[in-house]
Chains A and B, each alone.
Chain A
Amino acid sequence: MNILGMGIVFARGRGVDSLDKALHEGWQAPAEVEIKGRKSFAYRVDQQAISDRTLLKNMRRADKLSKMAVVAASEALANSRIEDLNRKRVGIITATALGAHVTTFDFLDDILEYGDAGVSPTTFSNSVHNAAASYISSALGIEGPTLTVTQFFFAFHSALQLAQVWLNEGRCDYVLAGAVEQYGDVLAYIHDTKLTPAPDGRIRPFNFKPAYQVPGEGSVFFLLSNKKQDNSFCEVHTVSVNADEIDLPQADLYIIDADGLLAYESIYKDCLSSAIPVASYSPLFGSMLSGSAFNCAAGALMLRNQKIYASPVTDNFNGLNIASETSPCCIELIRCIRYNCLDEKAVVYLRKARD
């Protein structure tokens, strides 16, 4: 299947141009946040990036998670430049690990403060995991199958895999598949308690041990189809989740999703080759359980632009062949790799769009 359009909202802005700019500019320090007297870092999405009165006019009460998802999905549709899309033939698959946890905690506040019978129905209905997908459907007028899926590490990969299945069996002509995660203070507390916070706000993807994390938030959506068009980003050639990878020609670049969400990330070393450069763009986005979607977005842009972007943080204590310079390059195939805490692996192969 092909990536015909892409939309993104993240700490550095909104839209593919913002992604391209961030990839060119490299690492920038994340925001400092203070929670209950503790200082830490976070890659937060600026409210300005999701202030869209036209698009969001009917969802003023929606939470930030839903707004980020709607903005990214809308960008993906617009970015494809497809006119007269039959929206009954478009499906939506939203992947999220933690969903609307911020709104869930708001709802718990309601219970604690006002009692079981005094809670807000609006907060409750926005706290369900599929609220974001529902808002995408209503804001964009999409009437195809709409699904929200959750897993802690591979939700995005499973969403891509299912999108391919839906397209292959003719359930849809297009699928908007993507991921969304939100930052919140409880999440930050859990991160800082269970994992290693980056002391200077810098995720070091090639450090592996200790693996430094900085919480992030944002959303990426891809408009996928088995149809082709001239401005396609690339082809999603293969998705494998905890399964043997099929034999493919050697990749030109590996992208690893190392972002400090595993206590130790040395497992990534096992899948790398000294002959093939490796990159990771999580220092631009922050640590997110669905962060693979953001690295895949970077990969898709590289394949369209035929350019390898420098990894934003290149600390290299393991003698790796890190992509450390931005340069035009003929790239055919990118292998994007994610591990979970049980050393299970998910891989997405992105291939240059074919004529």
Chain B
Amino acid sequence: MINVTGLGAISAAGGNVAETLESFNLKKRNAGTVTLFETPLKYPVFEVKHIPEEYYLEGRRTLSLALISVDEALRDAGLENDLSGLRVGVCLGTTVACQLNDLEFYQSYRDTGSASMIPVDRYLKGNLAEFISRKFKARGPVLTVVNACSSGTDAIGVALSWLKNGLCDIAIAGGADELNRIPLCGFGSLGIVSGELCAPFDRDRKGLNLGEGAGVLVIETKESAARRGRSSDLYLSGYGSASDSYHLTAPRPDGAGLERAILKALSDSGIKPGDIGFVNAHGTATQDNDLVEGSTLGRIFGTELKMLSTKGYTGHTLGAAGGLEAVFSAAALREEWIPASAGFNNKDENIPLIPVTERSDIRGGYALSTSLAFGGNNAALVIGRRRK
């Protein structure tokens, strides 16, 4: 049994888990125009408005976001900032932080044939999982997952496998990504960014909004938690992943890869679809994603499934999304409610189910969180809660 002993989250919805839940409860959507960099693109985005000074790292915003989230998760787990005496692995997903995409550096090189090495050094010292591992003196396996939008979910799945196979006793797992000009231009060019606030699963959805943040779980073997005198009502019970083998950017229309990922996560957990209390869907609000995901969820779970997308509160945070949504799912299981799926108003007749439109109480001991990625990877996590 792999316990979830710590949760940490930062996004436009809040600087920590408690603030985020409050935003969810109040249906607050903290979106606005881009302030982090100059761009003529006028899409609404979900920025994190405040990074405390002690976490600020020049030119490495993704790492700052990750640090905040990891710090919160470690405190929640009752762990110190020096983990050197424990067998702790670090597996984190990202997209932006893995690329040397510093425009100033590149423009200088392009124009003059030379450029400052400061951005290069920042990049070389900024591998997300390596940075966090060194910062907290973790002595277990280290891996940065770069699986586009499923990176965070896959990172948690990898960490789960590490723990089950004895590679470490504790793992820091999740994802982090900053809002950055390069992907904003890129997603804009693909024609899948909305000029309005996103509306996941809505009939009139016009595309995604980009966001930023970090979401991290501390997961731990039962024996390790017991040695530390910790207990938890939450546990990570299963992970599934499967590839579409179809297209670089479009999901497979029949959802077969997503279905296999979900069924694997359920079988890993030893449960049936009916045991799932709610699904925190990927729900980006693009035409293709929501159609394929909604149809697949309806096929597996039926039309009465309680489901939502939290991207109406956070935007699409790319490599952080799976981490954040795993944290939100775990917190919802503990709080026994899920928020309204922000942005939804009208049923799409091509999608067999509708997301919850009001704060809803949940029953059942399991939540499913799904991610679909560029490149055709699909990933699913099952999180459980023991009830007293």
Q: Is the pair A151, B247 in contact by a Cβ cutoff of 8 Å?
A: no
Query: CA A120 – CA B139 in complex, angstroms?
Result: 42
Contact with A along B220-251 (1 / 0, CB 8 A): 00000000000000000000011111111100
Q: Is the pair B95, A112 in contact by a Cβ cutoff of 8 Å?
A: no
Known contacts: A111-B103, A130-B146. The answer to whether A146 contacts B376 by CB under 8 A is yes
Q: Is the pair B120, A92 in contact by a Cβ cutoff of 8 Å?
A: no
A36 sits at the interface (CB 8 A): yes
A327 sits at the interface (CB 8 A): no
Chain A residues positioned under 8 Å from B245 (CB to CB)? 87, 137-138, 141-143
Known contacts: A116-B40, A189-B109. The answer to whether A158 contacts B143 by CB under 8 A is yes
A99 sits at the interface (CB 8 A): yes
Known contacts: A119-B185, A146-B376. The answer to whether A162 contacts B110 by CB under 8 A is no
Query: CA A151 – CA B133 in complex, angstroms?
Result: 12
Q: Is the pair A107, B146 in contact by a Cβ cutoff of 8 Å?
A: no
Query: CA A158 – CA B376 in complex, angstroms?
Result: 22
Query: CA A44 – CA B373 in complex, angstroms?
Result: 31
Q: Is the pair B100, A112 in contact by a Cβ cutoff of 8 Å?
A: no
B145 sits at the interface (CB 8 A): yes
Q: Is the pair A121, B190 in contact by a Cβ cutoff of 8 Å?
A: yes
B369 sits at the interface (CB 8 A): no
Chain B residues positioned under 8 Å from A149 (CB to CB)? 143-146
Q: Is the pair B182, A107 in contact by a Cβ cutoff of 8 Å?
A: yes
Chain A residues positioned under 8 Å from B185 (CB to CB)? 107, 110-111, 116-117, 119, 124
Interface centre among A111, A150, A161, A243 (most CB of B within 10 A): A150
Chain B residues positioned under 8 Å from A87 (CB to CB)? 245
Query: CA A158 – CA B129 in complex, angstroms?
Result: 12
- How close is B21's CB to chain A, nearest CB, in angstroms? 31
- How close is B128's CB to chain A, nearest CB, in angstroms? 9
Query: CA A88 – CA B245 in complex, angstroms?
Result: 10
Contact with B along A114-137 (1 / 0, CB 8 A): 011101110011111111011101
- Considering only residues 44-89 of chain A, those with a C-beta below 8 Å from chain B are 87-88
A248 sits at the interface (CB 8 A): no
- Considering only residues 179-196 of chain B, those with a C-beta below 8 Å from chain A are 181-191
Select B247's contact among A130, A138, A241, beta carbons within 8 Å.
A138
Of A164-172, A296-304, A311-319, the one with at least 4 CB within 8 A of chain B: A164-172
What bracket does the count of chain A residues touching chain B fall in?
A: 35 or more
Q: Is the pair A242, B142 in contact by a Cβ cutoff of 8 Å?
A: yes
Q: Is the pair A194, B39 in contact by a Cβ cutoff of 8 Å?
A: no
Chain B residues positioned under 8 Å from A134 (CB to CB)? 243, 248, 374-377
Interface centre among B248, B260, B264, B374 (most CB of A within 10 A): B248
Contact with A along B102-145 (1 / 0, CB 8 A): 01001101100111010010001001011000100001111111
Q: Is the pair A143, B244 in contact by a Cβ cutoff of 8 Å?
A: yes
Query: CA A145 – CA B115 in complex, angstroms?
Result: 39
B16 sits at the interface (CB 8 A): no
A225 sits at the interface (CB 8 A): no
Select A146's contact among B114, B184, B188, B243, beta carbons within 8 Å.
B243
Q: Is the pair A148, B145 in contact by a Cβ cutoff of 8 Å?
A: yes
Q: Is the pair A138, B376 in contact by a Cβ cutoff of 8 Å?
A: yes
Q: Is the pair B117, A137 in contact by a Cβ cutoff of 8 Å?
A: no
Q: Is the pair B117, A145 in contact by a Cβ cutoff of 8 Å?
A: no
Q: Is the pair B161, A162 in contact by a Cβ cutoff of 8 Å?
A: yes
Nearest neighbor of B256 in chain A, beta-carbon distance: A143
Q: Is the pair B186, A121 in contact by a Cβ cutoff of 8 Å?
A: yes
A198 sits at the interface (CB 8 A): no
Q: Is the pair B243, A121 in contact by a Cβ cutoff of 8 Å?
A: no
Select A143's contact among B99, B187, B257, beta carbons within 8 Å.
B257
Of B162-170, B198-206, B298-306, B326-334, the one with at least 4 CB within 8 A of chain A: B162-170
- How close is B310's CB to chain A, nearest CB, in angstroms? 23
Chain B residues positioned under 8 Å from A171 (CB to CB)? 161, 264
- How close is B75's CB to chain A, nearest CB, in angstroms? 26
B345 sits at the interface (CB 8 A): no
Q: Is the pair B164, A169 in contact by a Cβ cutoff of 8 Å?
A: yes
Q: Is the pair A120, B189 in contact by a Cβ cutoff of 8 Å?
A: yes
Query: CA A109 – CA B107 in complex, angstroms?
Result: 8
B148 sits at the interface (CB 8 A): yes
B98 sits at the interface (CB 8 A): yes
Q: Is the pair A130, B377 in contact by a Cβ cutoff of 8 Å?
A: yes
Chain B residues positioned under 8 Å from A241 (CB to CB)? 141-142
B287 sits at the interface (CB 8 A): no
Interface centre among A127, A143, A149 (most CB of B within 10 A): A149
- How close is A141's CB to chain B, nearest CB, in angstroms? 6
Interface centre among A87, A125, A146 (most CB of B within 10 A): A146
Chain B residues positioned under 8 Å from A121 (CB to CB)? 186, 189-191
B23 sits at the interface (CB 8 A): no
Query: CA A36 – CA B242 in complex, angstroms?
Result: 44
B26 sits at the interface (CB 8 A): no
Known contacts: A151-B130, A186-B109. The answer to whether A193 contacts B377 by CB under 8 A is no
A108 sits at the interface (CB 8 A): yes
Query: CA A184 – CA B187 in complex, angstroms?
Result: 25
B154 sits at the interface (CB 8 A): yes
B10 sits at the interface (CB 8 A): no
Q: Is the pair B246, A129 in contact by a Cβ cutoff of 8 Å?
A: no
- How close is A183's CB to chain B, nearest CB, in angstroms? 15
Known contacts: A116-B39, A130-B373, A151-B127. The answer to whether A190 contacts B120 by CB under 8 A is yes
Chain B residues positioned under 8 Å from A243 (CB to CB)? 139-141
- How close is B333's CB to chain A, nearest CB, in angstroms? 25
List 3 tightest A-B contacts by C-beta distance, closest first: A134-B375, A124-B186, A129-B146
What are 19 inter-chain pairs, A to B, with CB distance below 8 A? A36-B113, A88-B242, A101-B100, A104-B100, A111-B181, A111-B185, A119-B188, A124-B185, A124-B190, A134-B243, A137-B376, A138-B247, A145-B241, A145-B242, A146-B243, A150-B98, A151-B129, A162-B143, A186-B100
Please give 9 more A-B residue pairs, beta carbons under 8 A apart, in addition to A115-B40, A147-B158: A36-B113, A88-B242, A92-B243, A117-B40, A117-B185, A125-B186, A125-B248, A143-B242, A186-B106
Q: Which residues of B line the A interface, CB within 8 A?
A: 39-41, 95, 98-101, 103, 106-107, 109-110, 113-115, 117, 120, 124, 127, 129-130, 134, 139-148, 154, 158, 161-162, 164-165, 167, 181-191, 241-249, 256-257, 260, 264, 373-377
